[in-house]
Structure 1
Amino acid sequence: MESSETTATATTVSSLSPNSSSSSPPSQVVLSPCAACKILRRRCAEKCVLAPYFPPTDPIKFTTAHRVFGASNIVKFLQELPEYQRADAVSSMVYEAKARLRDPVYGSAGSIFQLQKQVNELQAQLAKAQAQLVTMQSQQANLVAFICMEMAQSPPPQPPSQPSNFDNFNMSSPPYNLFLDETNPGSLWDPLWT
């Protein structure tokens, strides 16, 4: 019975062949128990149901699931499932256990409710933004149509046929010569009232 039940904590010593001339000591491989057996302080059997899903490097994973579900329920649940579904079941149990520790009343349902509420709010905001976009596009189309109609109704501007007034502009002609009167330099500074 003892030979069939190999423990994961057993130390195996690899034997060296007598022909090898290596001076190194025989190597020892120490296999540690799974995180579940280590936390439960029990011997980890060779065919431990929990070992593939709770490695010794991640004890938090089992501790979290153990707090909410209990070790016997986890083992019973895994034994009832086929092998290919067990990894997903353990992930689900750990996720639900974390959610239950955060929110003991609603668990993961509370998180789902909050996420669904956010999705609904975002969908409402998206619908509002899309409606505003359609309104702005129709306003732009109306404005472009109005501008095209105005341009079609108004006659094209005629180029000027006669010279403008600025072409004949002369600073020496009245009334501009008042300020530039060189004979009476004080005329610029005379008071406007007396």
Structure 2
Amino acid sequence: MSLVRLNIKGISYSQTQNGAYALILNEENGDRKLPIVIGAFEAQSIAIALEKEIRPPRPLTHDLFKNFSDRFDIVIKQVIIHKLVDGVFYSSLICEREGTEEIIDARTSDAIALALRFQAPIFTYKNILDKAGIYLKVNPKKEDEENQDSILMDDLIAEEIESTAFGEDLTYKDMSLEELNNLLDEAVNNEDYELAAKIRDEISKR
């Protein structure tokens, strides 16, 4: 399967789901966008890495990982978003130490926060982009005129993302509260916190 390189376009805040953000990845040499739902902490960590001038007084978790890796000569060479299951993206860190390559499983939001700190490229497989990639219905001229240094997407793009990345999951709507709570426990036990957050939001709506 062929890999497609992705660049970070920006971060969109959900107007309907409190504390939820969508990280927007842009297909290199293409028009498709890949929105990925992330939490507030990860959004902050990614935003700080994008804003070169902002330096927290103490290292954040991802900064600590970078410092630790530097100390032991570990380099993240690239990040690959390799799987999409039930709206959840799965990623791998391709690491190298003393000529030996290792593959480490990671949440996509963490993987991208680290990719920024290591200046590592981000890739996904073409079939994932075909399945989850979207075309934003915005005026191309308007998009070109936007400040490229802006991290938060404007309202027009945010509305477009809202209907895709933050769309309601019909399968959850049909479940009882007991079923949702059981599913939530299972997601937490599997450390699938992005899925757990979606289920928690559905429970909160009830």
Q: Which has the higher contact order (CA 8 A, sep 6+)?
A: 2
Indicate the structure with greater strand content: 2
Q: TM-score, structure 1 length as denominator?
A: 0.18
Q: Say which structure is richer in helix.
A: 1
TM-score of the superposition, structure 2-length normalised? 0.18
Q: Which has the larger radius of gyration?
A: 1
